[in-house]
Structures are given as C-alpha cells and as structure tokens.
Structure 1
Amino acid sequence: MLAALAALLALAALSGCSTMLWGTQQAPIVDATVMPVEPASAPVAASEPEPAETASNEPEQPKKPKKPVVKPRRVEPSPPVAAPPPPPPPPPPRQLILLRAIDRNAAHTLLDSQVQKPDGKPVGRAVDMIADAAGKPLEMVVNLQGFLGVGDRKVNFPWSAFRFTPSAKEAPITLNAGAVPAAANKASAPQLPMLDATVERANGAKVGRVVDVLIDGNAQPQAVVLDVSGMVSTERRTIAANWSALRFVTRDKELHPLLELSDAQINATPPYAADKPIRAVSPGPAPAPAASAVPAASAPGASAGGSPAGGSAGGTTGSAPSGSTAVAVSNARAVR
C-alpha cells in the first residue's frame, strides 16, 4: 500500500509542476485505479488452432453396407480310417506224411518167424495171417515141419493160441499147449490173407504188395511192410505203413485193404530195411478248409456239436498214432 501511495504522490507533484510551467490549463483528471500486480507466471503454450471445417460441395457418398462377419467354423477332424488288416500269412507246407518210430525190440516180423512149443521144441514157421473186415487178426497159418522137409503142411490156428516175444531172436512165437487147429468151416463174413495181398487206393490205383506184418508183444499188428517197387520208381523198394492207416472194404464179396498214400507220399517215406530203425508211415492230415465269412454255427449242414462232417483223407478218423512225427514236404515236390 505504501508503494501505491508513494506513486500517487509522485504523480500529483509532477502534475503541479506542469501547471506551473505551462500556465493555468488544468489537465484532465484521470481516475486511475491501481490494480494489484500479480506475479508473472510461466507462459502458457498456445494451443494449435483447430482447422476450420471446409465445406465440401461433393455429395455424400452412400455408405457401403458392411459385410457380415462370418466366424470360421471349427472343422471337426474326420475319424481315422482304419487300415485294412494285413493279409494272412501263407499256409505252411502241408504235412504229407506222419512217421512213427517202432522199436525193433517191441515188434517182430511175422513171415518166416519160428514157432515153438512151450518146452522150446520147434513146431514150424509162420507164413501168413488172416484178418477180418475190422482189421482184427483171426488166425495164423503155420507151416508145420515134417521129417527132412517131407510131410510139411500148412495149418491154420486161432490167433489166440499164440504168444509173442518180439525180443526173442530164435523163436519169437510160441504155440500154447493144447492148441488145436481152427475149424474148417469158414464164417460167412469175408476174410483176408495178408501176405501177398495188394494194397490199393480208393480209386483202385495200386500202392504196393504186403510182404510182411510187424507184431508186438500184445499180439497186435503194428505195421505192414509193403513192396512199392514199380510204383514210383523202377528200383526195388519197401516201406513200412502203420496198421491203423489201413482200411478194409468188401468188394465183389472179397476183402480189399486200402491205404491212401499218393506217389509223392510214398516217395517221401524212408525205406524199410532189416538193419535200420523202423519208421512206419501214415498219410498226413487233410488240409484245413478255407476260412468262410459265414460263421460255422450258422453254416448250412453244421452239426449240433459243431464238428464238421467227414474225416481225414483215406477214410480214417482220430488222432495220429502215438509217437508219430510230422514230416512237412512241399506239394510241388516232383515225383522221382
């Protein structure tokens, strides 16, 4: 305030001095209002002027319609395609034959084996065996000895009149005491002398000729020895065939032995020799039928028990003989 008053006084003094100098002209009185002076502040930056809107003479363009926003659909992955199953493996080669080893101490040949009495006295030699339609031995034909070969005669004895000792080297067959020859009157059922009988296949083709029969200690035939010379080769050759592989059929009121051995099977069979191990042959199992899309239970002709009709090749059924060994031979093997 003091500074303001001082300023007013100084102004008045100057006014009086001017009057004195320039006459009596009165200077106009100016009513001055002293405004308080505010301290200067920092300069405010001028804002940039807004651009004036320019009028456009062009007509407004119509707004383009907005394209609808299509959200991409989530593509569901397609289910994986199941790969086709791998082809089945090729079938193994067919087992053409089954071989069974027979101990020579457990079976002995029949032909020309010595027959003795219980006291060890020789009676004669076995020359043949008579079988029925079931393959069961009925009689044995013995060539009774005479004096110096004079008076020899063949006599049929019941099969039950003999005991067999295969391990005996001198006389493997013993005629029981009191045995009498078989009755002369023959039964009406056909019977078959085995020695020199021709074994055939079902189609009538010849397999071989019986040259011997192997008998075990229980008086049961185990195998037949067949001469197959001229069947698959020109050389002389014999093989042993399992007795269980034989079938007996009646044709023209005569009994015929059958054995379903093909040329390839005969060719694959090891030869029979007196100084070699015995390996008796049987036909291999029939090939399995091809797989069918129709279940076995719904297939026409299926039996109630689910077992297929029919049997194995050769007309025999059942399992292979005990102790048999399968021998796989290719069907494409050439017949020698």
Structure 2
Amino acid sequence: MFRQLRLLCTVAALFALAALSGCSSLLWGPQQAPIVDATVMPVEPASAPVAASAPEPVEAEASEGPGEPKKPKKPVVKPHKVEPPPPVVAPAPPPPPPPPPLIVLRTIERSAAHTLLDSEVQKPDGKVVGRAVDMTADAAGKPREMVVNLQGFLGVGDRKVNFAWGAFHFTPGAKGAPITLTPTAVPSGPNKSNALELQLLDATVERANGAKVGRVVDVLIDGNAQPQAVVLDVSGMVSTDRRTIAANWSALRFVTRDKELHPQIDLSDAQINATPPYTSDKPIRAVSPAPPPAPAASAAPAASAPAASAPTASAPPGASTAVAVSNARAVR
C-alpha cells in the first residue's frame, strides 16, 4: 500500500513539472539564442532627396450644373524655351586691289636682234666694206637712212656715207657680218624733202616736261630691218654709276621743237630704277611705261565682253610676251 502511494506521488510530481514547463513557455515566450559575435557593416549615407518637379498648372474645371452641357477642355499649352538669335558675323572686308604695274618688260632674244653701232657691213660676196655708225628716223619713227663708215686703206680714206635704209639686209644670228649691202645700193644724196630726220646715236631722250632720261648709245635691229629697242645710257639719273637700259622702240615719240626732231619717252626715276640693266651677256629686257589703269566704270563692260571678240596683239619677231612689273626691288 505504501509502495503504491509512493508511485502515485511520483507520477503526480511528474505531471506537475510538465505543467509548469508549459506555462513557462507560454508566459515568457521562446528564449533567444545568445549572441556570440557581431560584425559592424558600414551604412552609406542617404542621398539628398530629389526635388519633385512642380506640377503643370491645369486650369480648374468650372463646376457644371445638372443639365448643362459640358464645356470642352482647353488644351494645356506648355511654354516653349526661346533660343537666343545667333550672333551676326560681319563679312570680312575685301582684300585691297593690287598696286598698278610700274613698267612693262619685253624679252628680246639675242639671236633675233643685233646692235647697229659698229656692226660690220658687207657686200653680197661677203667682203666687209665698212661699219654702221648711225641711222636716221623721221617724225613717225620710221628708219630712213643708215650711215656707214666705208673703209679705206690702213685707215686712210675712210668716209661716212648715207645709204637708204631699204638698201640693207639684216641677219642678226649670222656668224659673219650681220648687215649686207645690196648690189644696187647707191649713196643717198642730200635730203631734198622738207621732212625732218633725226640722227639717233648720241641723241638725248627726254620726258614730256623736258627732263633728261638718257642718251642713245645703240639701236637693236631685227631680221626684218625693224628697230626693236634703243639702248639708253641713264648714268646720273638714279645713281652715279654707269648704267644702260633697253627701251622699246614703240615707247619712243618724235616731237618737233625749234624745227628739229626730239625723241621722248615717259620714264620716271622710279621706272628707270625698276628696269634691269642692259648687258651683252644677259637676255634683253626692253622697258615701256605701264599704261594708266582703266577707270572702274569702263572696266566692268570690258570684263563682261566675250574674250573671243577682243583682238589679240601679235608680238614682234623674236620677242616674248610682255610682263608687268609692279615692285621695283623685285626686278633689280
């Protein structure tokens, strides 16, 4: 009996323990596990809040009463951003016109022209009979006579004889005498006409105002017996050194003053200084004054005219195309 009572007490104690454990879990809840190790993670700072865009204004709808027709909604017009006008760029000014040319140069081949002074004169059989020492020209610039110093014996009996210009043939590139006297040539008598003639050698060339340009020291003749240029001694014009230049025959004018012919050419000191010197070992560059510039009003119609209608001037034999020179230092 005592043994059974003891067993019942043990069972009752077990039930009491079980009841107590259930109430404890209900009252206190589940127990958390202990923290063994903790890791600190860095937290990035929150970015600044983005400002919300302002809502677009919308016109409030008018209250509509019952039975009233609905009014159409007005479209919402968004303002457009006005772009500033582009900056106005001023056009670049046109370049200044080039300076007018100072002189015009023409190249004459050495084989196409020969000097007159002291050139040998021969007969058709090749025998040299004398040397040319001068020539005459009329007021139009046309050659009239050639003065030949006919040889004597050992210098004795030399005499100057005038022959008509048409009595000679010129061969500039010949190895022998460049001037040949025709068989029928006869000395010219005294000038019976009233036409004035000018002896070219040693004649003084002037400007229109009377200022001296230079002295004629030679004449260049081509194969057609036409003068192409005169050689002028311009020493003292632009420097004290002896200097000669070649001037185009067409640039000369022959004017009458005091019943005599006077050669003229319009070459200023600057133009003389811009002309290359004449030497026997360099190409012949014959100078002419540059023509005055054409007025602007007359230049426009000339530019609009067709190029084919303009006449083309032919250069003399042995001469190249003329070249305008505007810078004096570039020429020298």
Normalised TM-score (structure 1): 0.63
Q: Which of 239, 243, 255 is matched with 2:245 structurally?
A: 239
2:274 and 2:327 in contact (8 A); partners too: no
Residue 50 of structure 1 corresponds to none
Q: Residue 133 of structure 1 aligns to a residue in which SS? A: coil
Q: Residue 99 of structure 2 aligns to a residue in which SS? A: coil
Residue 116 (1) aligns with residue 122 (2): yes
Q: Which of 218, 221, 226 is matched with 1:215 structurally?
A: 221
**Number of equivalenced pairs:** 230
Residue 131 (1) aligns with residue 128 (2): no
Residue 172 (1) aligns with residue 169 (2): no
Shift of 1:185: 3.5
Shift of 1:88: 5.1
Shift of 1:140: 0.1
Q: 1:282 & 1:154 partners in 2: Cα distance?
A: 33
List, as ranges, runs of 4+ consecutive aligned residues in structure 1 with deviation greater than 4 Å. Answer: 83-88, 318-322
Q: Residue 221 of structure 2 aligns to a residue in which SS? A: strand
Shift of 1:326: 2.6
Q: 1:169 & 1:248 partners in 2: Cα distance?
A: 34
Residue 102 (1) aligns with residue 108 (2): yes
Residue 283 of structure 1 corresponds to 289
Residue 51 of structure 1 corresponds to none
Within 5 Å, which residues of 2 pair with 1:140-159?
Answer: 140-159=146-165
Letter in structure 2 aligned against 1:206: K
Q: Which of 302, 321, 325 is matched with 1:324 structurally?
A: 321
Letter in structure 1 aligned against 2:273: N
- Runs of 5+ unmatched residues, structure 2: 1-88, 302-311
Shift of 1:212: 0.3
Residue 195 (1) aligns with residue 192 (2): no
Shift of 1:187: 1.9
Within 5 Å, which residues of 2 pair with 1:1-336?
Answer: 89-289=95-295, 323-330=320-327
2:111 and 2:172 in contact (8 A); partners too: yes
Letter in structure 1 aligned against 2:281: D
Q: 1:185 & 1:255 partners in 2: Cα distance?
A: 15
Shift of 1:170: 2.7
Shift of 1:86: 7.0
Letter in structure 2 aligned against 1:102: I
Letter in structure 1 aligned against 2:288: S
Shift of 1:90: 1.9
1:98 and 1:324 in contact (8 A); partners too: no
Q: 1:235 & 1:255 partners in 2: Cα distance?
A: 29
1:93 and 1:328 in contact (8 A); partners too: no
Shift of 1:91: 2.1
Q: 1:179 & 1:188 partners in 2: Cα distance?
A: 23
Residue 48 of structure 1 corresponds to none
- Runs of 5+ unmatched residues, structure 1: 1-82, 297-317
Shift of 1:330: 4.5
